Structure 1
């Protein structure tokens, strides 16, 4: 936190203990649960790296375990990087591959699986990457080329859409010529790592995303903030408005930023905290450069690695 970190990526790869042992990951599923909880409780966004096609996996088990990420409240990451297993030169996996002890999925199988994974992702998740950026000359087995294009075309042919944050963002949909409707405020709630997560978003009727806010209600505050009032803490883990960054007080034609979406989301989060959960103190974990925005625009003050604001209870 002292370095200004707001997001942590965990190399989860799978939820299969036997595969962890086989590839010598050095951790267990319980370690993933514990790490996810600690990160969330301190206000950090939690992203998982997920690796279909590991030794011992099948497309069916990969899909089933992926769905478990979102059905089991111990996990439910905020973001994902999908890294299909590739056989890289000079690794032990290459030795297994050449000895016939490991067989990577063929391109068609992996493309179909990634389509099914993307179709299973809930709307509170951002998929930020599909396929590791490793030069093809180092890859001796498995996928070598980008999957985004083939997956996009196959999902389009199947009439299936990915509902992840990246695929729904205003700027992305504007670029591909999607019709953009009138935005409105939406709310989605779910449990994760022992707390209540509330995703507030500004969307049109087709779920085109203009901005979002992640509000977490939990009982245990980060140690530097002292005890929770009324046994609860309201923690804003993310505020994001889609589109390219625009300097404060500047207006830019066609940009989603500085149209009041951030203020709308913050006002609703503060209202929910005070009126619904009776939590008078709102805590935000933000990047170092954004703290001044919260201080000047919303009246927050710095406290340790956070900015905080107290409001009277009704």
Structure 2
């Protein structure tokens, strides 16, 4: 039987049923059933909906009734319930249910949990039940009241507006994991299929089920493997999960991980990105296509069952772990001549025009891409690859640096030089991308002192100066070359106190234009032989920072570094300038309390302006990264390229990032967050003024596919790789 291209699997249901064989019936272990449920994003599986007892249903109704009642009584605040207020409601209901059970001499039922509330509410909304209408209209169990002829004209509009706000406050009150969209955008991480890597770092995990450097037990990797590494399935599943947790999903940042992106064939790169866009363009119906696409992979004989996958890689994995063969050699042994994989992978290609079609659709889709992140290594950064990244829609590049010291890079077999890294940074900056770099602590031959100095150099040397940093410690994982060094006592992990102390000092040393995005890898503690196993390392570091802010720890403010005006002396958190520590997140913002700061700094090839909206206590509500290329330095060999290889010309400035914080709201909805106070427009105006005063005649912006319409409204016009306006 000939297998269809996955692009066409959703076009015709009848053809699909004929073309795809029925999957074999097999009993799945309970853990696998749970994993599949997580992958498909089903917070309340159909079986659970059907078996929901009347008592359980009444308990859910009672809790939701109480929440809506509390929200109405505090309508003037426009705020959701606090976590504490919600906890009090849930505990009161639990106590009430326990009393009922005791009186009836029955077993106490399971308590209503926060995660139960939104799926039940959405189920009632989907069914257009009287319950849901009653909650919104204020009539509880009696259903919606009859407003008669009064519910017309302006009164109807005001009533609809109040109802929409009430529902939004309810969702914000019961939303799971609110931090996921606290920056204003919902993030979806996807993983590429297993592939060879042209490097062989000694600390890098070699899990043959994954792209090199990733481990099957990492959450994103588990989801990807269950989805056969299919980009469409991964996005559709995460969209459903985010939606069911109450998050807006119309502004999406896609993060594509998998080691070194440029090592994959270009045809696969085009196909993978096209499928990401297709899934977003087809939301919400894309979630209904997941099972069909899963069956398509099974029709080749592929599996996503953990025991079978372990069996598939077992012998080769043992050889890798014992050091007899490399990851690349084992990969070729497993996959190069494996018919199921090769047959399925042969369909994973498309043309640039196919991708372009999906990108055009996404400009006005319900789920728009407002950021696309790709991961690669410094030695793969070339003008040609960067041009391809822009055609894919990429706006940010994750790049593994690990250290700025050559002897440490050599000791860890990084196969890259500091000169290559600096050249890569210059090229990435001149092409307009955001620079999200990886820096590691506790590498072979590193010391706590050298790690502190390494970070300071990284954020102050004009050859580097990243925008974001993943700053995490090295950990020992089975199958890596680091195991031998550990056995020989040539490498040891830092103690918890030493590690936290280094991270605290690094946060204090970070300038105001740097964001430390993460401090750990998502590696399961069971996979870490020795090293940090704290999943809340960032929280530990911030707790130490807040505690020491009241003491005598030495730290410098941005003003002391010459980067910003002096701040009030009584501001206890002034010494921490790092972005993530200062983000307003879900807080309400009064635009009158904000002022605009211009943090100017120089790189090897540009003058950078970090424009930030900050409050009186230095909390950041939004920022813009304006880059002014220095053509004298470029012509003098600042990045070892000619002007013809660059995508910009003399006289052209570049906006590399525009971001305004606040809880993500659906497009078209107003709110009290910073995103809805015109802060972005004023940042653009300030950037235009600075570029014009500096003699630049054109302002480019590295817009995402889903933000093109926004920039058109701001006076920018489309060009081949960027949008621009004349100054």
Query: Counterpart of 1:268?
Result: 686
Unaligned runs of 5+ in 1: none
Query: How big is the shift at 1:95?
Result: 2.1
Q: 1:52 to 1:259 in 2, by over 3 A?
A: same
Q: Are 2:674 and 1:256 equivalent residues in the alignment?
A: yes
1:136 to 518, 521, 525: 525
CA distance in 1, matches of 2:660, 2:459: 24
Q: Which has the higher helix share?
A: 2
Query: How big is the shift at 1:70?
Result: 2.3
Q: 1:289 to 1:205 in 2, by over 3 A?
A: same
Alpha-carbon deviations, 1:113-170, whole Å to 9, x = none? 1111111101101111111110001101110112112211211221165321111111
* Mapping of residues 137-286 of structure 1, within 5 Å: 137-146=526-535, 147-159=537-549, 161=573, 162-171=576-585, 174=587, 182-218=593-629, 219=631, 227-228=649-650, 232-252=651-671, 254-274=672-692, 276-286=693-703
Higher CA-based Rg = 2
Q: Are 2:407 and 1:18 equivalent residues in the alignment?
A: yes
Check conservation: 2:452, 2:505, Cα contact below 8 A: yes
Normalised to the residue count of structure 2, the TM-score between the two structures is 0.40
Equivalences, count: 302
Query: How big is the shift at 1:249?
Result: 3.9
Check conservation: 2:431, 2:648, Cα contact below 8 A: no
Q: 1:212 to 1:4 in 2, by over 3 A?
A: same
Q: 1:179 to 1:149 in 2, by over 3 A?
A: farther
2:434 to 45, 54, 60: 45
CA distance in 1, matches of 2:415, 2:665: 43
* Mapping of residues 69-88 of structure 1, within 5 Å: 69-88=458-477
Alpha-carbon deviations, 1:87-124, whole Å to 9, x = none? 11221112211232211111111111111111110110
Query: How big is the shift at 1:51?
Result: 0.4
3-state SS of the aligned residue for 2:526? helix
Query: Counterpart of 1:118?
Result: 507
CA distance in 1, matches of 2:500, 2:649: 49
Check conservation: 2:591, 2:677, Cα contact below 8 A: no
Normalised to the residue count of structure 1, the TM-score between the two structures is 0.91
Query: How big is the shift at 1:226?
Result: 6.1
Query: How big is the shift at 1:224?
Result: 7.1
Query: How big is the shift at 1:35?
Result: 0.3
- RMSD value over aligned CA atoms? 2.1
Structure number with higher relative contact order (C-alpha < 8 Å, ≥ 6 residues apart): 1
Runs (4+) off by over 4 Å: 178-181, 220-226
Query: Counterpart of 2:455?
Result: 66
Alpha-carbon deviations, 1:181-232, whole Å to 9, x = none? 810111110001310000111111211111100101113678575642xxx3
Q: 1:131 to 1:100 in 2, by over 3 A?
A: same
Unaligned runs of 5+ in 2: 1-389, 554-572, 635-642
Q: Which has the higher strand share?
A: 1
3-state SS of the aligned residue for 1:137? coil
3-state SS of the aligned residue for 1:257? helix
